[in-house]
Homo-oligomer: A and B are copies of this chain.
């Protein structure tokens, strides 16, 4: 499941990245249906042998992409929560929501497909931990403001964000600002806050 080598420098690093980027593009354009190792190698401009030098299996590539997605989210959320210190609850939540949409905004189709695929896969340890850390981050924020049942609330909040973002992408929406407002309404509503106030 883990990459085979990480001589993360020079030519190797480039090959590694090319494989991941080609994989991402194939998923974006064709979904899993045509996500085959030979096609990945071809699009990466790399031989099939090289692909297997860096990733032990097709699943490992997928796992790497998924892990990447979660790392990105974790980073975005971390930055948002850090930046929210000292701000009122509503503002903090708003920043959280915006951060949650970032990776959808960057590569909607990729985020959509990867999140969909992840649900049908057995999670590897590392990804599991990433998700846990994400939940911990959200839980921590809620705790800071004395919310009840922080664990469950965080879980539901994430599920709602996820559900709305996935549905919007599936429907072909591209207006992230509009989506943000609806998301804010859903999240604020769930948290018992007044979403009719002026959003940031």
Q: Residues of A at under 8 Å CB distance from B? A: 31-33, 112-113, 116, 119-120, 152, 155-156, 158-164, 166-168, 170-171, 182, 185-186, 188-192, 195-196
Contacts and interface: CB of A to CB of B under 8 A. Distances in A.
A117 B116 CA distance: 8
B192 A196 contact: yes
6 contacts: A112-B119, A155-B167, A155-B171, A159-B166, A163-B164, A186-B186
Contacts of A170: 119
A41 to B, nearest CB: 15
Tally of this chain's copies? 4
Contacts of A119: 112, 116, 166, 170
A48 to B, nearest CB: 12
A175 to B, nearest CB: 12
Contacts of A188: 189
Task: Give the dominant DSSP class at A's interface.
Answer: helix
Given A116-B119, A156-B182, A190 B192 contact: no
B192 A152 contact: no
A195 B152 CA distance: 16
Contacts of A32: 120
Contact of A163 (B116, B163, B195, B196): B163
A53 to B, nearest CB: 10
A186 B156 contact: yes
B31 A120 contact: yes
A28 B177 CA distance: 37
Contact of A160 (B158, B164, B192, B195): B164
